[in-house]
Every structure is written in C-alpha cells, then in structure tokens.
Amino acid sequence: MAQGNLFDLTGKVAIITGSSRGIGKAIAERMAQHGAKVVISSRKAGPCEEVAAEINAAEGEGTAIAVPANISSKEDLQRLVAETRKAFGKVDIVVCNAASNPYYGPMAGIADDQFSKILSNNIISNHWLINEVIEEMKARKSGRVIIVSSIGGLRGSPVIGAYNISKAADFQLARNLAHEYGPDGITVNCIAPGLIKTDFAKALWDNPETLKRSTTTVPLRRIGEPDEIAGAAVFLAGPGGSFTTGQAIVCDGGATV
C-alpha cells in the first residue's frame, strides 16, 4: 500500500488571492492546517494581516504572510510572487480565487468599463498570475494551479451574465493550460462553487425570498459554506489530486444536476 497522507501539504508554499475573507480565507486556513505555508492576499493590507495573524496563531509563527495586491495590476501580482519567494523561497501552489462582479442586471444594461473589468479581473489576471509562477514549476516538474470559477460558467443568467461569461472562460483557461503544462508535471484545475455563504454572493442569499428561490430546487436544499470549497482545493493541491487535471470540480449541493 502507498505511504503518506493524500492531503499532506507539508513543505508546500501556496499563494491564494482574495484570501482575506470567504472562500479564499477558508482555502488558506485549510491548506495551512494540512502543512502548507500560505500567502494571504487581497486589496487591503489590514484584513490580510488579520487573517495571516489568525493562521500563525493557530498553526505556528511563520506559517502565513500577508502580501496585499490588486489583481487588476500586473505589477502588483509580480510583487506578490516576488515577496512570496523572498519569504518562502518558492511557489508550489497558486489559487486564483479573487474575482469581480460590479454589475447585477441584464446584459443590455452593462457599461463597457464594467464588462471590461469583469473579463480582465476574472480571466486575464489569472493568466498573469499563473505566468508569474509557471516557469519555476516547469523547472521543478511539479506544481498545482487552481482557479476558483463558478457554476455560473455552466449556465445562463438574467442578472450575472457577464460574470458567467468570464467564469466559462476560466474553464477553458484551465483546459488549455492543463494541455500545455501537463508534460511538466503541473496540474491545472477549476473549482466551480454553487451558491456559497460569502459577502461576495450576498445579493443572492441575503434576502429570504431570494434564498428560498435559490435553494428550492437544489438537492441538498441549502447553500454551501466556504469550508466546503476549501475541501476541494486541498484535494487538488495534495497528493490525492495528482492525476486530476483540466477539470472543473463542481461543488454546488447538486444545483446543476
């Protein structure tokens, strides 16, 4: 029988964007719990430092660092990777979790700058960050790339259409990169959450009527918690996920079945 824990991340270094709250925070906490060094990153320094301090208190000093970065800035993402290497020496895992959705309504009403921002932050920023870490992963013949997409990328919507378009593109980004970097021992996958109880998705669950509409047809009859997405991320980052690449793992309580 094979030795070792399928979810052991000891000695690994993970960058998680959008990790000062919600799904990103849960992923960082769980990866740290499984032995990884984690880099907490979002736009504002204060919340990042708070999360890093919480993780260090729970898992031991030096487990987490905070490196604020705006995903819309290529220079910020370059600095994020540089600071990670300075602190931990390498990057083994990158989780592209941060995303934007500045518009809620029909496609006919979206402003050009809003549409551009959604596509840039949810697709191109992922491309930038992955490119910053991929060469060292190729040199090591080892690396894990995880993109947090959405079940929105699998279906239409009258109110979050542009966001869904960007999330569908993330599935294809993962498939393409899985092809390109598979020979180098790098896996690239998406996680596609359904409705999760986060501030980001608040418009979809905060109102009891909306919540009821959102969960009535879901087999599990409820919305998910950030931790339930973190489980998929730990799987994909660890030994257990080593033969999974180019995939979209759907975690949605059965909403899409």
Q: Annotated catalytic sites, by residue?
A: 163
Distances (CA, A) of 72 to 98, 128, 142, 233: 10, 10, 27, 23
Distance CA 14, CA 58 (A): 17
Distance CA 212, CA 221 (A): 9
Question: Is-contact 149 171, C-beta < 8 A?
Answer: yes
Decide: residue 189, CB within 10 A, 0-12 exposed, 13-18 middle, 19+ buried.
buried
Selection from 201, 203, 195 nearest residue 220 by Cα: 195
Rounded to 5 degrees, what are φ and ψ at 54?
A: -60, -45
DSSP state of 57: H
